[in-house]
Structure 1
Amino acid sequence: MSISSSGSVHAAGSAFAPARLGASRPARPSQLDPALVNQIAGGVDPEQLSELSHATAASLLDRVHHTQDPQVVARVLTLVDVEGVDLVAELWSHAEPDSLPGILWRLYMLRTWMRRDRDAISRLWRVGEPVATTASAIAGVDQAPDEDDIARLADSILSGAFVGDFAVALERASAFCDVIVAGLRAEAHHRSAHLAAAAVTSADEHAHRAAAARMLHNAASLRHTAEDFRHGAALWRRGKLE
């Protein structure tokens, strides 16, 4: 899944792919009319697009905060699934990580990744958090979650951003990312240790080293995303996330 360039947004694009450690190729979300996407991308200058991204993010958040209709919440939760990632990306993916549209983009991509690669992520969680710590409490995860738990958590974090305390949702997302970072680093270390302890062919060695390097790269990228979520939470509490 492509995430825009800009600092940690680009990093997040890599970070939200670590569970391709064996996952099948994800299904592409349903797409909006390409003409509409092209109109947004080509018919609006960068300043107008930035204003549009901030306005749509604020409007969406405000509407859900003031509704009691569970169907509205459900539609917002599945925005990327239903409308397709292209339009949402055109609106929000270029936004800076310390902005409301930039943070919402990361939350939506986090949910998409968590639901798509839930099995691999549940394994990474168990490696990164073998014993429950404060990270489990903050994220809201029981010890040793299975893939269904990960899917429910994905929905819970994103829906919490709209119907609960936005800063708390960002802190939950950050804590979740921190544990997956630890899991990726542990897996990379395990692969490297396996090479040192076992007789392997040069081809196997290359494959193991390449896999370990990808895990470390993804861990570093996801760590930046966790920091974006933490910073976003602090800005929200100060009334400066716009």
Structure 2
Amino acid sequence: MSTSSSSYGSSSIRAAGSGFAASGRFTRPAQLDPALMEHLSGGVDPQQLSEISHTTAASLLDRVHHTQDPQTVERVLTLVEHEGVDLVAELWSGGDPDSLPGVLWRLYMLRTWMRRNRESISRLWRIGEPVAGASSAIAGVDQAPTAEDIARTADSILSGAFVGDFAVAMERASAFCAVISAGLVAEARRRQERDAELRGSGAISSSGAAHLMKTARSLHSTSKDFKAGARLWREGRLE
């Protein structure tokens, strides 16, 4: 595989918001309750921010579920593009992985990562899919997806969370992360073997295998977060 290691790690999903720290500049998304959003520009204490985080997540999900208007769904789907990742991070990145805002943050970051790295991910899928088994069927991706297939899957997982079964969307997200994690591990091992051969011949190599393994572990952890979130949602305990 010709893609460099930087294609995988630089935009990988962050388990927390540190990689997307808020800049302090906010705009007000029409999709969210203005009465809640107006507090952000002036700053709030951690307890207030936590309450706003949970309230906006539940409000946004409930609103779209009840309207399912195509234009509303599109605006929510592209919230990061139109309002900026800073705002979404300020709202939800601090949420625990077993909370609704924490899950929504991860879903939005998964979509962003998938769309930005669609070509690399399509190749990783072909590597990881034979290893991951049933995960590919759950994720709803062909065995040899194109870059555009990956982008469409990214959109369908996030939109499915708002207009379909939220637990199913999280299970799809979990399965997708599992396949790509498996692909990264397989690719990292291939590079490690190549490194060993080069060292044996006296050559110097820097393949980025360690970086790929780190990203694989991050995705594996995110996959477990989504799977746990799906279970909590079905039990009525994801808040």
Q: Same fold (TM over 0.5)?
A: yes
Query: What is the CA-CA distance between 1:201 and the residue it aligns to?
Result: 2.6
- The one-letter amino acid of 2:218's match is S
CA distance in 1, matches of 2:151, 2:13: 21
Pairwise mapping of residues 1-242 of structure 1 onto structure 2 (< 5 A)? 8-9=15-16, 34=25, 40=40, 43-130=43-130, 133-198=133-198, 199=201, 201-202=203-204, 205=205, 207-208=206-207, 211-242=208-239
**Offset, 1:130:** 3.5
Contact 2:92–2:101 (Cα < 8 Å) also in 1: yes
Over 3 Å off, 4+ runs: 1-4, 35-39, 130-133
> What is the identity, as a one-letter code, of the residue corresponding to 2:172?
R
Q: Does the Cα contact within 8 Å between 1:32 and 1:83 map onto a contact in 2?
A: no
Distance 1:68 1:94, change over 3 A: closer
Question: Are residues 138 and 2 of structure 1, via their aligned partners in 2, closer, same or farther at CA, if it must alter by over 3 Å?
Answer: closer
SS at 1:142 equivalent: coil
Tell me the distance in 2 between the aligned counterparts of 1:10 and 1:231: 19
Q: Secondary structure at the match of 1:120?
A: helix
Distance 2:26 2:216 in 1: 37
The residue identity in structure 2 corresponding to 1:61 is: L
Q: Any unmatched runs of 5+ in structure 2?
A: 1-10, 29-37
Q: TM-score by structure 2 length?
A: 0.83
2: CA distance, partners of 1:236 / 1:75: 24
The alignment's TM-score, normalised by the length of structure 1, stands at 0.82
C-alpha distance 106-35 of structure 1, shift in aligned 2 (>3 A): closer
Q: CA deviation at 1:35?
A: 5.9
Q: How far did residue 33 of structure 1 move? A: 8.2
User: CA shift at 1:42, angstroms?
Assistant: 5.7
2: CA distance, partners of 1:154 / 1:70:
17
Deviation at 1:64, TM superposition (A): 0.4
Query: Deviations 1:117-153 (Å, cap 9, x if unpaired)?
Result: 1000111111111478311110000111010000000
Question: Which consecutive unaligned segments of at least 5 residues does structure 1 have?
Answer: 15-30
The alignment yields a C-alpha RMSD, in angstroms, of 2.6
Provide the C-alpha distance between the structure 2 equivalents of 1:188 and 1:74, rounded to a whole number of angstroms: 37
